[in-house]
Structures are given as C-alpha cells and as structure tokens.
Structure 1
C-alpha cells in the first residue's frame, strides 16, 4: 500500500529561517492551516496573508485553510485557561471531528506533500497531531505522518 506523506508543524519558537528550511527539507507542497485564528499579529511571519506569500515565493507551495480541523473557540479558551486538562481537551476535539465527519468530506489527495500548521511548538499537546491520528485511523492507515520541530 502506498502511503500519503504528510507532515505537521508549529510556528512558535521558530525563526522564519528555521520554519521554512524545515518545510523545504520535508518537500512540503501545500500548507494546510488548521488554526482557529490565523490572522493575529502575534503570528508574525505565520499570519495568513504573509504566510501565503512566503510559501509561494520561497517554496512554490500552496496555502489552504482547513477550518473543519480547527478546534472550537470556547473549547480552546477553556484549555488555555487551564479549566480543562489535555486529556479532556483531546477527547472534546476528537468528538468534534466525529460530529463534523471530516473524514467524509476532506479530499485525501490534499494531504500528499501537505503540512498541517498550528501554533504549538511541538505536536505532543496540539490538535494537529490529533487530527492526523484521527484521519489516519478513519482512512485505513494511509497517512505517513512526520512532525517537524
């Protein structure tokens, strides 16, 4: 079985140089933005409009928003305020993906050479990891996921 190569990355604690070198080394062709808020000034070089430009100019890569893989605002706010444990947040997020039935309407071919983007530095406590695990389970293990950090 041929697997689809997909990666994940967070922009926090990375310089633009490190971020784009990681993407280049991983041969990323499409950035799949799974952030809830991708227009904040706090995102620096990873702000939606800037990132779209940088990806095109530096890597010849596309930028696609995937809001169906973003968490809900209230849930994220509770987690960041430490009103919810990681385990509770993770379960809530998986339940959200199930309710949205993302596996049924996302085109698997988007993920070939794709990279899921979020803000978290590492994937351990980030919904981008949960999203790839969820989709991989629903799509019969067809994703070969690597986390760039």
Structure 2
C-alpha cells in the first residue's frame, strides 16, 4: 500500500482532484474533526464524496477517530499549547483509540489510501503524525505527502 497525505487548503479544486486522480488513489480517508469546512467548498464531506467518486473513481470515508479532540485542536489553534504539546497529546489519544490497528483492518484491501486534512503542508498536521505511526507498525507501507 502507498499511503498518501494531502491538505486541501492553498489548492484549487483542479489541483486537488488531479493529484488524487494522477496517483490512482482508491480511498480517501478524511481525518478532520469537522468535514463541513468553509475553507474550500469542494472539500465539504458530501460534496467531496461525490466529486471523488465521479472525477477520480475514489471512495471516501470520514473517520473522526483519527482526528484530535476538540479540546486539543482548539488549544493548538488558540496557541495555548505548542506543537510539541499537541504531539504529546495526540499520539497517546491515537494509541488509546487503537487507531493504527483499526486503520490496517479497515483499509488493508486498498492499494492507494490518502489521509486528508486541511493544512497545506504535513509538517504541523496530525495526518503526518498518524502516517508515521502507521508506518512504524507496518513498514511495508510507503508514505508520500502531496
């Protein structure tokens, strides 16, 4: 499996869907806490599901179990916690939720899975943290941040 990660902000709909299609992704896993974002109209949950199926022949699932809690996310956005503290809270949360094993069980049948969040780059995004946790347990998986 190739595990991609992508953020939709700072991308046009054309750029976003061409990346999905050109990398032959067959499953996009939306790991945002809220998939009704106003940041980009094409990235709203039900619309996104439709566009992915019609344009890219790609399935869609919104999986909030891979998202941070509202408290963690709000604290980071309001700068009451640092990125390092965010990481210290997010990783144990994923361990408690058994996120990596659930990911492997749910998505093993796919060849190209993509983790979606809003951040334009992976450096300060939970999609990178989750992908690193997955690869640590399943080293045969290759990660590509696009």
Please give the TM-score of this superposition, normalised by the length of structure 1: 0.91
Aligned residue-pair number: 144
What CA distance in whole angstroms lies between the structure 2 residues aligned with 1:134 and 1:75? 18
What CA distance in whole angstroms lies between the structure 2 residues aligned with 1:111 and 1:91? 30
Corresponding residue number in structure 2 for 1:144: 142
What CA distance in whole angstroms lies between the structure 2 residues aligned with 1:49 and 1:40? 11
Query: Is 1:77 aligned to 2:85, yes or no?
Result: no
What CA distance in whole angstroms lies between the structure 2 residues aligned with 1:34 and 1:5? 17
RMSD of the alignment, in Å? 1.3
Corresponding residue number in structure 2 for 1:113: 112
Question: 3-state DSSP class of the match of 2:96?
Answer: helix
Which 5+ residue runs of structure 2 have no aligned equivalent?
Answer: none
Corresponding residue number in structure 2 for 1:42: 39
Q: CA offsets, 1:11-45, max 9 Å, x none?
A: 00100011111111211111111000001333411
Alpha-carbon distance, 1:111 to partner:
5.4
Corresponding residue number in structure 2 for 1:54: 51
Return closer, same or farther for 1:18/1:96 CA change in 2, 3 Å cut-off. Answer: same
On the 8 A contact 1:30/1:110 being kept in 2, the answer is no
Runs of 4+ residues deviating >3 angstroms: none
What CA distance in whole angstroms lies between the structure 2 residues aligned with 1:26 and 1:130? 21
